[in-house]
């Protein structure tokens, strides 16, 4: 019998939405006007859908008064706050392209994004976590000729903009909104490449509104849901899977804190009776380990999403058992695909939900291909994950050559992730093509070893990398975070734990115990930085510098 190819398309009895984001929000306001829409825990403010629309429309008309037009780029550089959400929907209503700027950026990166996107207007927090945003903006502004207006949240210019907008014409805003197309670009998100400058993934209303909507559908959202969003808005996880999933279903968005804080997140869930909680695995690990965990009543939780990086099976099981998130789903995707391509379903078995990234999303196609030939591999064989459909970005902003490298002639997005599709269409992400370690000719996938090390009772978190080795080309190293109160594991102890249970070439030679891993602002582990540190730590600079064919 011939094995079926690793290809599947997502069917649905629900059609794609043809709205713009502004029209979709207006529809939610008309239906759910008096229901809670947004709670900003830090400032103690909350808005119903009708009140949210008033704020959004005021910011939209304020931007129009500044001269912002459809297609102009409006940057936002701020942590999670209500003003971020107002700006997101306000720019969508007038057809301006919102450019998300990573809160962790410094002047070098800020200048690059301001220049590359041609940002006209910048909405920014004055400061965050010791970073003086206002001073950094002043430093780079002379080199950014397109930048005409800077609005600092909470300061006079911002308040002035909102005040002017409140006096603006609703009819004029409706006229602008009516002239927009769902296929217009509406958002640029810069993806942090491991080399060179980030690329600006350009997304349309149609891309992100539908992705948020179908994420919400698979979470079973209704107007009764309250979604706790500790993941950053500047990333798709926050602004699409969080905000757009909520507003397309009349649900409530809850902002627990400006940046991730495990205790504040748990308190927000308990006090706001949240039914859904989002996070990358490291966030859930931190919440489960927080000393205040037992003090919070999490009984309102029903669902949520774990995504952003590979989800350890043991952590997923604890989220279900200890946090009561019995319908929690795993999502897989990337910024360039709006972001979600696959998701587990609430009626999937626990085994499926803790060991796969689910099945293809509605209205999308996915396939697994041989990275060398591009041919679809049989089910059960590893290859590169590719996806096609409404979610694939318009392209990288003003970078056609880089766009062509990622999206082929048939509009398949090549993710760079290694995946295996089983007979039922469920997918496992087994690593990055670039993360794969080749030790003495053997292909080693760090994810497999990490999953195994999570089963050690003293290990809180494990990350495996390849480091240079004279004999094998690469050798394995594991960075470990230990549970509180236990002794650090030695290389000998790790070898003993793995012996007889992992192939010898998969057993890490080097062990490094740390309190924290180097992380991106979205909670992804920076393995590139870990490798650099490890080379120094182990004195492997000469081997690393050696050239190979």
Higher per-residue confidence, 173 vs 198: 173
Task: Indicate whether 257 and 392 sit together in one domain.
Answer: yes
DSSP string covering 289-303:
H-TTGGGS--TT--E
Lowest mean pLDDT among 29-38, 288-297, 314-323, 424-433: 424-433
Q: Can you read off the two tokens belonging to residue 357? A: 């990234």
Task: Indicate whether 417 and 442 sit together in one domain.
Answer: no
Residues near 156 by Cβ (< 8 Å), separated by ≥ 6? none
Euclidean distance between CA atoms 423 and 442, whole angstroms: 26
Lowest mean pLDDT among 169-173, 177-181, 540-544: 540-544
Q: What is the pLDDT of residues 313-361, one digit of tens each?
A: 788 889 999 999 999 999 999 999 999 999 999 999 888 988 899 999 9
DSSP string covering 454-472:
TTSTTEEEEEEEEEEETTT
Task: Indicate whether 44 and 107 sit together in one domain.
Answer: yes
Q: Which residues pair with 306 in a beta bridge?
A: 279, 330
Contact 64, 176 (CB under 8 A): yes
Coil, strand, or helix at residue 496?
A: helix
Task: Indicate whether 44 and 148 sit together in one domain.
Answer: yes
The domain tally of the chain equals 2
- Domain-located, residue 127: yes
Per the prediction, the chain carries an average pLDDT of 93
- Domain-located, residue 192: yes
> Which of these, 262, 332, 251, 330, lies nearest to 298 by C-alpha position?
262
Q: Centre a 10 Å sphere on the Cβ of residue 415 and count the other Cβ atoms it contains.
A: 22
Structure confidence at residue 548 as a pLDDT band (50, 70, 90): very low
User: What's the confidence (pLDDT) of residue 549?
Assistant: 30
Task: Indicate whether 148 and 256 sit together in one domain.
Answer: yes
Structure confidence at residue 375 as a pLDDT band (50, 70, 90): very high
User: What's the confidence (pLDDT) of residue 248?
Assistant: 98
Average pLDDT over residues 267-276: 98
Phi, psi at 4, each rounded to 5°: -70, 150
- Domain-located, residue 212: yes
Task: Indicate whether 46 and 103 sit together in one domain.
Answer: yes
Contact 428, 439 (CB under 8 A): no
Phi, psi at 452, each rounded to 5°: -65, -45
Task: Indicate whether 386 and 454 sit together in one domain.
Answer: no
Q: Centre a 10 Å sphere on the Cβ of residue 57 and count the other Cβ atoms it contains.
A: 25
Higher per-residue confidence, 523 vs 400: 400
Q: What is the pLDDT of residues 431-466, one digit of tens each?
A: 778 787 878 767 677 888 998 899 999 999 999 999
Q: Which residues of 372-384 are buried (b: 16+ CB within 10 A; e: fewer)?
A: eeeebbebeebbb
Task: Indicate whether 443 and 498 sit together in one domain.
Answer: yes
Contact 313, 281 (CB under 8 A): no
Average pLDDT over residues 224-230: 98
Structure confidence at residue 195 as a pLDDT band (50, 70, 90): very low
Q: Is the pLDDT of residue 516 over 70?
A: yes
Q: Which residues pair with 279 in a beta bridge?
A: 306
CATH of the domain at 479: 3.30.300.30
Task: Indicate whether 120 and 153 sit together in one domain.
Answer: yes
- Write down which residue in 421, 452, 467 finishes a domain: 421
Q: How many helices (H) and strands (E) does the chain have?
A: 19, 26
Task: Indicate whether 450 and 345 sit together in one domain.
Answer: no
User: What's the confidence (pLDDT) of residue 501?
Assistant: 84
Q: Which residues pair with 407 in a beta bridge?
A: 413
Task: Indicate whether 36 and 163 sit together in one domain.
Answer: yes
Q: What is the pLDDT of residues 38-77, one digit of tens each?
A: 999 999 999 999 999 999 999 999 999 999 999 999 999 9
Task: Indicate whether 155 and 274 sit together in one domain.
Answer: yes
Domain that holds residue 473: 437-545
């Amino acid at each position: 019998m011939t094995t079926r190819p690793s290809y599947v398309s997502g069917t649905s009895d629900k059609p794609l939405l043809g709205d713009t984001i502004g029209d979709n929000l207006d529809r939610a306001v008309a239906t759910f006007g008096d229901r809670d829409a947004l709670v900003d825990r830090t400032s103690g403010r909350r808005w119903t859908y009708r009140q949210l629309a008033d704020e959004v429309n005021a910011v939209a008309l304020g931007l129009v008064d500044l001269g912002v037009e459809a297609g102009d780029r409006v940057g936002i550089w701020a942590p999670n706050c209500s003003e971020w959400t107002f700006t997101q929907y306000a720019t969508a209503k007038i057809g301006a392209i919102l450019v998300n700027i990573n809160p962790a950026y410094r002047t070098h990166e800020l200048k690059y994004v301001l220049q590359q996107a041609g940002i006209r207007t910048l909405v920014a927090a004055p400061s965050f976590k010791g970073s003086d945003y206002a001073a950094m903006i002043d430093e780079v502004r002379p080199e950014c000729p397109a930048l005409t207006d800077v609005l600092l949240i909470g300061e006079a210019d911002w308040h002035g903009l909102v005040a002017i907008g409140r006096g603006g014409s609703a009819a004029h805003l409706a006229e602008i909104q009516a002239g927009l197309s769902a296929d217009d670009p509406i958002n640029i998100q810069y993806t942090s490449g491991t080399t060179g400058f980030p690329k600006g993934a350009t997304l349309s209303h149609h891309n992100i509104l539908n992705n948020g909507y179908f994420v919400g559908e698979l979470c079973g959202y209704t107007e009764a849901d309250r979604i706790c969003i500790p993941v950053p808005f500047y990333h798709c996880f926050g602004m699409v899977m969080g905000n757009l999933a909520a507003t397309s279903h009349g649900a409530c968005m809850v902002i627990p804190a400006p940046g991730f804080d495990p205790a504040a997140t748990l308190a927000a869930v308990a006090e706001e009776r949240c039914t859904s909680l989002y996070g990358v695995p490291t966030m859930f690990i931190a919440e489960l380990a927080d000393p205040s965990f037992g003090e919070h009543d999490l009984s309102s939780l029903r669902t949520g999403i774990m995504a952003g990086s590979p989800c350890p099976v043991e952590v997923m099981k604890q989220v279900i058992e200890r946090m009561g998130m019995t319908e929690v789903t795993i999502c897989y995707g990337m910024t360039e695909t709006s972001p979600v391509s696959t998701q587990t379903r609430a009626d999937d078995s626990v085994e499926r939900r803790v060991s796969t990234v689910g099945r293809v999303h509605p209205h999308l196609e996915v396939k697994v291909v041989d990275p060398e030939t591009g041919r679809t591999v049989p089910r059960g064989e590893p290859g590169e994950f590719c996806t096609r459909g409404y979610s694939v970005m318009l392209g990288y902003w003003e970078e056609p050559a880089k766009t062509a490298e990622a999206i082929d002639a048939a509009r398949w997005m090549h993710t760079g992730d290694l995946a295996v599709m089983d007979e039922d269409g469920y997918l496992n992400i087994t690593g990055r093509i670039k993360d794969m370690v080749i030790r003495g000719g053997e292909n080693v996938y760090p994810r497999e070893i990490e999953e195994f090390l999570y089963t050690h009772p003293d290990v809180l978190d494990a990350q495996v990398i390849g480091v240079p080795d004279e004999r094998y080309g690469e050798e394995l190293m594991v960075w470990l975070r230990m549970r509180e109160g236990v002794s650090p594991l030695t290389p000998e102890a790790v070898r003993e734990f793995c012996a007889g249970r992992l192939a010898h070439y998969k057993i890490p030679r080097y062990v490094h115990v740390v309190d924290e891993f180097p992380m991106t602002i979205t909670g992804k582990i920076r393995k590139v930085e870990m490798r650099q540190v490890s080379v120094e730590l182990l004195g492997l600079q000469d081997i690393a510098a050696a050239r190979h064919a």
